[in-house]
Structure 1
Amino acid sequence: MKKNLVLFILFVLPIVAYLFFASGVNSFITLPTITPTIPNVDAQWKTLNDKKVTLDAKITILGFAGENIMANSGNFFTLNQKIYNKYREFKDFQFVFIAPEGTEAQAQRLLKELDALTDVSGYHFVFAKPEAIQAYHAQLKLLGKLDDNFGTPYVYIVDKKRNLRGRKGKSDQGKPEYKEGYNTTSAADLHNDMMDDVKIILAEYRLALKRNNADRKI
């Protein structure tokens, strides 16, 4: 009993404290699930390097790039600066963008430009027919919809079990709060809400890892 208490103080309590103070405007100790167990990316969808992309066992920032990738490149650069560069060293962290077939050249150009600023190995583009993209997005059961170009400026946090995570409940001020995605056109949304929520997801997995390591030592 005493040994368990010591392990709790040494390993669990500091993480709980970190979650509390790192959460900023987000009052959640863990990030609520918006849609449980979303579908995986279709293994038949094309990629730039012919390698399969999966959401399993990854912390994924999922986006729908639409037909006008380069016209919206500023959104990608803002997201890259605010989120990707800060967390890309986490080995199970990835960006996945779903885009219509025919936009491969735009995606390659975007990655080439981003590559001048950062290591883009954590970026993955998959390409599908517009109707398949619409059908996949519908299965996420979100309030937001895709635009006429089969894209959206919003990106989503998906955990290792393919749960789409966000905010659902009450804010620190006691007001109802619901957030299913993060607006890449808003540097403030990415810097404040999204950065805060990604921290919570990563801290969850660090806490789980410490618990597993502690259990092995008992």
Structure 2
Amino acid sequence: MKKKIVLVILFVFPLVAYMFFASGVNNFGKLPILTENVTELDVIDTDIRLQDKITILGFLGRDVANKKGNAFNLNQKIYKRFHEFADFQVVMLVLEEEKEAVTELKQELSNLAPIDNWQFVYTTKEGLQTVFNGLRTNLTLDGTYGVPEIFIIDKDRNLRGRDNDEDQKTGVKYGFDATSVADLNNKMEDDVKIILAEYRLALKKNNADRN
């Protein structure tokens, strides 16, 4: 009898886990597109691109040393869970004078997990502002050219988020607060699952169609 129970658990648990991952919890549907065709990073001097990547995009700007907590939260709650998925990357825009602080931050992050898919892009104030404006959100950069929110960009350069979030006056949630472990844990993690599941299911469908 015990052996039968164990076999049932071994079969059912992975199935339930897969169904949860594939569906997510955001109404069990696709994550809404809030902004189409966000600005590509070729407007600044970098080889990093958003197109054809699932990107977590952030703006550290200046004063990186005092924003390490944001990066650590993102690393622990989102990056470590999903960094092994194909075409997944974290891209942080920082001002050019922050290279020393970024080197230190990368060293500290590397002690927690491989940082192969962390990308730090150096740019000017104007370049950073141009990319941020291309998201077309209701948020603004602060005096350090940073913002605590981080954003989900899909492979077609669409900004994904929520259009019925209970904590937003308008219902629209463009980004996720990297200073809040709860926001990353309770909302962003679910939404990243949905994005990854979308592409995984689309890939399976394409493979099935070819066969």
TM-score interval w.r.t. the shorter chain?
0.7 to 0.9
What are the equivalent positions in structure 2 for 1:1-218 lying under 5 Å apart?
Answer: 18=19, 22-24=23-25, 26-27=26-27, 29-42=29-42, 44-45=44-45, 52-169=47-164, 177-217=171-211
Consecutive unaligned residues of structure 1, counting only runs of 5 or more, are 1-13, 47-51
SS in 2 for 1:127: strand
- Percent identity over the alignment is 43
C-alpha deviation, 1:42, in angstroms? 2.5
Decide whether the 8 Å contact of 1:20 with 1:29 is kept in 2: no
Consecutive unaligned residues of structure 2, counting only runs of 5 or more, are 1-14
One-letter amino acid of the structure 2 residue matched with residue 212 of structure 1: N
SS in 2 for 1:120: coil
C-alpha deviation, 1:28, in angstroms? 5.0
Q: Do the aligned partners of residues 202 and 114 (structure 1) sit closer, same or farther apart at CA in structure 2, a change above 3 Å counting?
A: same
C-alpha deviation, 1:169, in angstroms? 3.8
One-letter amino acid of the structure 1 residue matched with residue 176 of structure 2: Y
One-letter amino acid of the structure 2 residue matched with residue 153 of structure 1: P
One-letter amino acid of the structure 1 residue matched with residue 203 of structure 2: L
Which protein has the bigger strand share?
A: 1
- Give the number of aligned pairs: 194
Counterparts of 1:139 and 1:45 in 2: how far apart (Å)? Answer: 16
Counterparts of 1:28 and 1:36 in 2: how far apart (Å)? Answer: 22
Decide whether the 8 Å contact of 2:23 with 2:197 is kept in 1: no
Counterparts of 2:81 and 2:165 in 1: how far apart (Å)? Answer: 28
Q: Do the aligned partners of residues 198 and 18 (structure 1) sit closer, same or farther apart at CA in structure 2, a change above 3 Å counting?
A: same
SS in 2 for 1:64: strand
Counterparts of 1:127 and 1:170 in 2: how far apart (Å)? Answer: 33
Counterparts of 2:28 and 2:136 in 1: how far apart (Å)? Answer: 22
Decide whether the 8 Å contact of 1:155 with 1:184 is kept in 2: yes
Decide whether the 8 Å contact of 1:96 with 1:125 is kept in 2: yes
SS in 1 for 2:57: strand
